[in-house]
Amino acid sequence: MSPAYDLIIIGGGIMGTSTAYHLLSFEPNLKLAVVEKDPLYTYASTPLSLGGIRVQFSLKENILISLYAQEAFRRFEEEMAVGEEKPFINYRQAGYLFLIDDSGRTAVEAALTLQKQMGGEVEWWAPKKIQARFPILSTEGFCGGTFGPRDGYLDPYAVLMGYRAKAKSLGAEFRPDEVTEILRSQDRIEGVRLKSGAELKAAGVVNAAGAWAGAVARSAGVDLPVVPI
């Protein structure tokens, strides 16, 4: 008989493991499985990313996500502790500087206004200030720059492992396998079929397959404009 879960998460990268952690924190009795086709994370997007955290975006939703992330990562190591073990994510708010030329100034100033209105700490720096702070940079051809003092970077693999360990400690089951099909009956989700041949039953599925999310969604008859490049 196939195992039955309340929820199956497809993809055990940072989005899938974060989802597992937050759901189990909210509802500890959930029976939840995370299916990851690359358990060593050799080709996964998370550890291959640069790990940059910044609020310097022009889209409201991106700014909101980043403002939340800045606070979440400051308390991450404490929250993700399992017993005496704490992850070390090397979160450093060293700042982000973007150099701006005349053609981009209008758009950047509009984005800067939005960032400030939403609570982001971002400043406009004249070329003279940039040169004084970073003498190695040539400001020739630039009218200035934007600097986010709370922007920075971290170790994305360490964050992934932190979420994964904490989710497992809360009861998440991690299965090394590949989802080949989301099972459905008319408009109801019934579970997933795995490459190993097994079927897992669940009333809900979270598609956290990242760049491969489009292919996963098509197995359930849903068209998502997501393709790996």
Same domain, 144 and 66: yes
User: Average model confidence (pLDDT) for the chain?
Assistant: 95
Residue 100 in this model has a pLDDT that exceeds 60: yes
Assigned domain for 77 exists: yes
Same domain, 31 and 65: no
Q: Mean per-residue pLDDT for 175-193?
A: 94
CA 128 to chain centroid = 36
pLDDT of amino acid 2: 65
Q: Mean per-residue pLDDT for 140-147?
A: 97
Assigned domain for 30 exists: yes
Same domain, 137 and 163: no
pLDDT (tens digit per residue) in 12-65:
999 999 999 999 999 999 999 999 999 999 999 999 999 999 999 999 999 999
Residue 74 in this model has a pLDDT that exceeds 60: yes
Same domain, 129 and 68: yes
pLDDT of amino acid 173: 97
Decide if 189 contacts 182 (C-beta within 8 A): yes
Is this model's pTM higher than 0.85 or not? yes
Q: Mean per-residue pLDDT for 163-168?
A: 98
CA separation for the pair 214, 6 (Å, rounded):
23
Assigned domain for 134 exists: yes
Same domain, 60 and 139: yes
Contacts of 191 (CB under 8 A, 6+ apart): 2, 5, 8, 182, 183, 199, 200, 201, 202, 205
Same domain, 66 and 123: yes
CA separation for the pair 187, 182 (Å, rounded):
12
